[in-house]
């Protein structure tokens, strides 16, 4: 694991500790305590760059889907939101944190990819009339899945905490740059990898890379695009000139090289194990329990996502 990595067992212990904590409390306290200050503190990870670490958990009624690392960059001319949050409630929380710290206008909101924990906070920023920046394939992906995700989130959080599906108003097909007066943000639209709409960003003010879910740290990556493509895009991330990054999930900032090595280690084991299973005619139902099992202790939420990852990998690799 990376130098910055908290040992995964620490994360594994998190939810059970929280449950133990809640056991002695009345139910009405739960929603508030679910957003404990410790979990939701914002850290300044670079000059004018603020990040909140997402919970290493799945969306629950108590956590407002605040499971991704979200944050903002304060530039000379305005604020850019690096990730909007996992629900309208989460986005409102983030917006409140911004206005506490600066009275500059919120001019840009990045929608890093289609997944709900990265886009449903956007509704909280519509009032600011920012530019919503997304991958050129994001509109299509949101059209296909946005309402499905929204209904699922409404079942969990209720309509007023979920919010609308917000579409990008600026799309990036290859690369793009925006200027906040004293710093430039350079965007790269990636090929199919974690999803088919992954957008990364580099801040010229700090040199930090914001790869969103192209980089998971400690939490098991979830595959929803292309396994071979993701391994290719990892190589591309290495060429962008950054040494530190703010991952989509995990610590608020990490050294890039070891974090990418851990990620590509898992994806390589997933690829090679799936190929071996296909070669031996192991059926998919069996492969999901055996492929990459040796990685179990290295990743939080392994049992929730590894089987799905094998399924996606199997479908991609069986025709190669
Ligand atoms: Zn994602």
- Whether residue 220 is contained in a domain is answered as yes
Total number of domains in the chain:
1
d(CA 235, CA 238): 5
- Whether residue 289 is contained in a domain is answered as no
Ligand 1 centroid, distance to 102 Cα (angstroms): 29
Ligand 1 centroid, distance to 16 Cα (angstroms): 24
Two tokens, residue 197: 């709409």
Ligand 1 centroid, distance to 226 Cα (angstroms): 13
Ligand 1 centroid, distance to 195 Cα (angstroms): 7
Average pLDDT of the residues in 115-120: 98
Ligand 1 centroid, distance to 106 Cα (angstroms): 24
Average pLDDT of the residues in 88-99: 97
| CA-based nearest residue to 212, from 39, 91, 54, 12 | 54
Ligand 1 centroid, distance to 118 Cα (angstroms): 7
For the chain, what is the HEC assignment?
CCCCCCCHHHHHHHHHHHHHHHHCCCHHHHHHHHCCCCCCCEEEEECCEEEECCCCCCCCCCCCCCCCCEEEEECCCCEEEEECCCCHHHHHHHHHHHHHHCCCCEEEEEECCCCHHHHHHHHHHHHHCCEEEEECCHHHHHHHHHHHHHHHHHHHHCHHHHCCCCCCCEEECCEEEEECCCCEEEEEECCCCCCCCCEEEEECCCCCEEEEEEEECCECCCCCCCHHHHHHHHHHHHCCCCCEEEEEECCCCEEHHHHHHHHHHHHHHHHHHHHHHHHCCCCHHHHHHHCCHHHHHHCECHHHHHHHHHHHHHHHHCCC
- Whether residue 94 is contained in a domain is answered as yes
Average pLDDT of the residues in 278-290: 97
Ligand 1 centroid, distance to 17 Cα (angstroms): 26
CB 33 within 8 A of CB 61: no
At residue 306 the predicted structure's pLDDT band, cuts being 50, 70 and 90, is very high
pLDDT tens string 3-33: 333 333 333 333 333 333 343 343 444 444 4
- Whether residue 265 is contained in a domain is answered as no
% the chain with pLDDT above 90: 86
Ligand 1 centroid, distance to 214 Cα (angstroms): 8
pTM: 0.88
Q: What is the mean pLDDT of the chain?
A: 90
Q: Is 284 a residue whose pLDDT tops 90?
A: yes
φ, ψ at 264 (rounded to 5°): -70, -25
pLDDT tens string 137-148: 999 999 999 999
| Per-residue pLDDT at 6 | 34
Q: Is 1 a residue whose pLDDT tops 50?
A: no
- Whether residue 290 is contained in a domain is answered as no
| Per-residue pLDDT at 39 | 55
% the chain with pLDDT above 70: 88
- Whether residue 137 is contained in a domain is answered as yes
| Per-residue pLDDT at 135 | 98
| Per-residue pLDDT at 30 | 41
CB 71 within 8 A of CB 46: no
Ligand 1 centroid, distance to 41 Cα (angstroms): 22
pLDDT tens string 218-236: 999 999 999 999 999 999 9
- Whether residue 73 is contained in a domain is answered as yes
| Per-residue pLDDT at 289 | 96
Average pLDDT of the residues in 93-108: 97
| Per-residue pLDDT at 320 | 87
239 class by beta-carbon count within 10 Å (0-12 exposed, 13-18 middle, 19+ buried): exposed
Q: The domain spanning residue 43 has which CATH number?
A: 3.60.15.10
Ligand 1 centroid, distance to 137 Cα (angstroms): 15
At residue 213 the predicted structure's pLDDT band, cuts being 50, 70 and 90, is very high
Q: Is the dihedral of CA 220, 50, 166, 214 positive or negative?
A: negative
pLDDT tens string 126-176: 999 999 999 999 999 999 999 999 999 999 999 999 999 999 999 999 999
- The residue range of the domain holding 122 is 27-254
d(CA 288, CA 274): 9
| CA-based nearest residue to 210, from 237, 173, 183 | 237
| Per-residue pLDDT at 181 | 97
Ligand 1 centroid, distance to 248 Cα (angstroms): 8
CB 64 within 8 A of CB 86: yes
């Amino acid at each position: 694991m990376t130098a910055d990595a908290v040992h995964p067992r620490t994360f594994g212990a998190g939810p059970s500790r929280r449950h133990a904590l809640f056991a002695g409390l009345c139910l009405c306290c739960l929603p508030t305590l679910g957003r404990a200050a410790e979990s939701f503190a914002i850290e300044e990870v670079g000059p004018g760059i603020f990040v909140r670490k997402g919970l290493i958990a799945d969306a629950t009624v108590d956590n407002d889907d605040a499971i991704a690392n979200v944050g903002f960059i304060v530039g000379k001319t305005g604020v850019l939101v690096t990730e909007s949050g996992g629900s309208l409630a989460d986005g409102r929380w983030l917006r409140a944190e911004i206005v506490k710290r600066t009275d500059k206008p919120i001019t840009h909101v990045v929608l890093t990819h289609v997944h709900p924990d990265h886009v449903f906070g956007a509704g909280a920023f519509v009032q600011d009339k920012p530019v919503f920046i997304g991958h050129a394939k994001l509109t299509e992906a949101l059209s296909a899945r946005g309402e499905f995700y929204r209904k699922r989130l409404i079942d969990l959080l209720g309509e007023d905490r979920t919010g609308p599906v917000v579409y990008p108003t600026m799309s990036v097909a290859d690369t793009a740059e925006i200027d906040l007066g004293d710093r430039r943000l350079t965007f790269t639209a990636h090929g199919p990898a974690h999803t088919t709409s992954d957008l990364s960003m580099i801040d010229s003010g700090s040199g930090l890379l914001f790869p969103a879910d192209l980089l998971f740290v400690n939490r098991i990556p979830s595959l929803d695009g292309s396994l071979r493509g993701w391994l290719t895009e990892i190589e591309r991330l290495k060429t962008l000139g950054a040494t530190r990054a703010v991952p989509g999930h995990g610590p608020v900032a990490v050294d890039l090289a070891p974090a990418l090595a851990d990620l590509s280690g898992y994806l390589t084991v997933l690829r090679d194990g799936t190929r071996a299973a296909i070669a031996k005619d192991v059926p998919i139902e069996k492969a999901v329990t055996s492929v990459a099992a040796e990685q179990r202790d290295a990743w939080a939420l392994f049992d929730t996502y590894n089987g799905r990852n094998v399924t996606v990998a199997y479908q991609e690799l069986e025709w190669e």
